[in-house]
Structure 1
């Protein structure tokens, strides 16, 4: 009888009634909602499925896959990892790739290998739109810093959500505010998935129908030489300008060089497929597992989620408004809708520009034009991250 009672007390069903474990039920419901958005609504499924599943397993009492004590204060307790008497779970080991900044850089390498910088090279003005869309990062940083609720390091980590770049948000947060990694990562990836929902109302509010109907001329053809030289030049320039951003930019441009060089097809295909897919699984599950009930169900977390929406809004508005301003001086007008693609959710933000442009004018084709600011936004968010790490690291 004692053995049976001991078995019952070890089950997760029993442990839901112990202490504050009832809060885990709330997090399990949140994970189900994220899975619904990913599977049914198809909002960034490759990311949300893994994050939601990580969130699910970490909040199952008794599973012991992730132990927050091993990462107390945002730092890895290496002594505990080397102690055989200390319980360690599968996610604890996978999470080291996040803490050490390995996964974000490898993700960037895959993104680089799948990205065509041709639209940006063909229309250098789009670099300004990508830069303007980083407004969300700095406005949110200022707001969080002035609120008195966050340290400058925490404010910088929250602000980077406005770049719509999950790997960059994780990379910055592990350096500046590791204790907030779970909420910030979940917010960043959740809002990336909701770009098609968040951006259109802002885009329509800031533009007239006539502006949305503007048809842009086809972009010039970019030579292979330009495409090969571009990642090398960007790596050197950005690494010298903002050394803190060098790991992200170097991996992004190395992946792109694999793609454009044309002599390392095996490496390019591996980075585009097997490598990024494997790392996405590990990253998503690890990040989701940090969303424990004790960490996530706190007032500061809810404020982070709210500020994430603000960051996305300012980022979208910054690109659109700069495009409108540039039109005051340009003979060949820019459709302001492509400015919203300056947030670095590639290629989702560019697709949103295309959809909104065709709603206003069915003959409009903005996708390739929007890809310019979109890929510029990836570079811009990495530079912004480097600036914030240099200032507050």
Structure 2
């Protein structure tokens, strides 16, 4: 009798259902938590994602369980209707904001409210660096097609090269939702690892003399220019590429409420409370899509490798275009700022500042790097819009 009770208790625990794959996923989640907490690699992103991954791979928890429905006869109308027999898990319902493409545009709104487009307005040439850094997206798209992925799948994988998590999520939910877990983890992991991945590429492609270049201070940008900018960009870009409206529209709206100066409460909410809430929900639910059964396979490995290639090529393309601008300007442009063309804001710009100061302690490249950095945000949204236009249903 006692043994039967113990046996029954054991089978009711998650330990009895734990598989090797789930143990591996728990180990991966723990590794990401270590990088976030101990090493400080983008903890605001990695901690929710890693903990969501941990929760979804603990058996019998049911946090991502779908609701169970049955067909019953309505006693009033006599028609057969669906009735919820069992409600879904907590994270399943929170995940609908990701699945339906709601969270990523809201994140873009928050990013817009936190972003100063002044450096880009002061130096419009930064747009070219932001555009060049998107080369990794299309190069990796071709590589993914070569490896046997479908067009929509290849587009979703390629967008990792933009180093923009919300954009990657938005495009993947539209084109290849079955790959969301792997693409989300790859995209956000590489965003968090920007300080590790980018510096070796930047040093490899530039000379010591180029890295030491000091750039002239940017011109002051008027408030009128900052107010007009989001209106003009939103209008022109969305008319040109309507599929970019959810991302670019929210990005520019967020920036407008920041720069208008008359809705401070809205701006503060977007920059702080709303951003933090959506980051928690998005991170937890994105991590929760990385279930052991669907995550640990050869497809995931291919996606993670292709994602690294995409991000690396995007960084390299930005730096190489920066070298072209260095030559054309007669040595006045530091090519390192090209690395900030990927849209990991403001991480990539900080990396440029750090690498530049290592070569020349009196060098301050942060504001110069912010131009390509915010241009990269716009560029990745436009690239997503182009891919969605071609491969969206």
Place the TM-score, normalised by the shorter chain, in its bin: over 0.9
Counterpart CA distance in 2 for 1:109 and 1:116 is 13
Counterpart position of 1:84: 84
Question: Residue 364 of structure 1 aligns to a residue in which SS?
Answer: coil
Counterpart position of 1:14: 16
Counterpart position of 1:77: none
Counterpart position of 1:173: 172
Alpha-carbon offset, residue 3 of structure 1: 5.1
Alpha-carbon offset, residue 360 of structure 1: 1.1
Q: Say if 2:202 and 2:316, in contact at 8 Å, map to a contact too.
A: yes
The 5-angstrom pairing of residues 1-393 of structure 1 reads 1=1, 2=4, 4-16=6-18, 21-67=19-65, 83-148=83-148, 150-331=149-330, 333-393=332-392
Counterpart position of 2:77: none
Provide the aligned length of Structure 1 versus Structure 2. Answer: 378
Counterpart CA distance in 2 for 1:315 and 1:289 is 28
Alpha-carbon offset, residue 331 of structure 1: 4.0
C-alpha RMSD of the superposition: 1.4
Question: Residue 328 of structure 1 aligns to a residue in which SS?
Answer: helix
Alpha-carbon offset, residue 390 of structure 1: 0.3
- After superposition, what is the alpha-carbon deviation per residue over 1:257-289, rounded to whole angstroms, capped at 9, x for unaligned? 111000000000000000010000000000000
- After superposition, what is the alpha-carbon deviation per residue over 1:297-316, rounded to whole angstroms, capped at 9, x for unaligned? 00000110001110111100
Taking a change above 3 Å as real, the CA distance of residues 130 and 200 of structure 1, as seen in their structure-2 partners, is same
Counterpart CA distance in 2 for 1:12 and 1:58 is 12
- After superposition, what is the alpha-carbon deviation per residue over 1:143-169, rounded to whole angstroms, capped at 9, x for unaligned? 111222x10110000000000000000
Counterpart CA distance in 1 for 2:364 and 2:92 is 47
Counterpart CA distance in 2 for 1:330 and 1:4 is 77
Alpha-carbon offset, residue 4 of structure 1: 4.8
- After superposition, what is the alpha-carbon deviation per residue over 1:309-366, rounded to whole angstroms, capped at 9, x for unaligned? 1011110011111111123322462100000000000001001101111111111110
Question: Residue 272 of structure 2 aligns to a residue in which SS?
Answer: helix
Question: Residue 259 of structure 2 aligns to a residue in which SS?
Answer: helix
Counterpart CA distance in 2 for 1:308 and 1:172 is 15
- After superposition, what is the alpha-carbon deviation per residue over 1:223-280, rounded to whole angstroms, capped at 9, x for unaligned? 0000000000010111111111110001111111111000000000000000010000
Question: Residue 247 of structure 2 aligns to a residue in which SS?
Answer: helix
Which has the larger Rg? 2
- After superposition, what is the alpha-carbon deviation per residue over 1:164-223, rounded to whole angstroms, capped at 9, x for unaligned? 000000000000000000000000000000000000000000000000011100000000
Counterpart CA distance in 2 for 1:298 and 1:240 is 41
Counterpart CA distance in 2 for 1:371 and 1:69 is 45
Alpha-carbon offset, residue 6 of structure 1: 2.7
Question: Residue 84 of structure 1 aligns to a residue in which SS?
Answer: strand
Counterpart CA distance in 2 for 1:314 and 1:49 is 27
Question: Residue 85 of structure 1 aligns to a residue in which SS?
Answer: strand
Deviates more, 1:86-95 or 1:259-268: 86-95
* Unpaired runs of at least 5, structure 1: 71-81
Q: Say if 2:130 and 2:342, in contact at 8 Å, map to a contact too.
A: yes
Q: Say if 2:67 and 2:88, in contact at 8 Å, map to a contact too.
A: no
TM-score by length of 2: 0.94
Counterpart CA distance in 1 for 2:332 and 2:83 is 64
Counterpart CA distance in 2 for 1:316 and 1:298 is 28
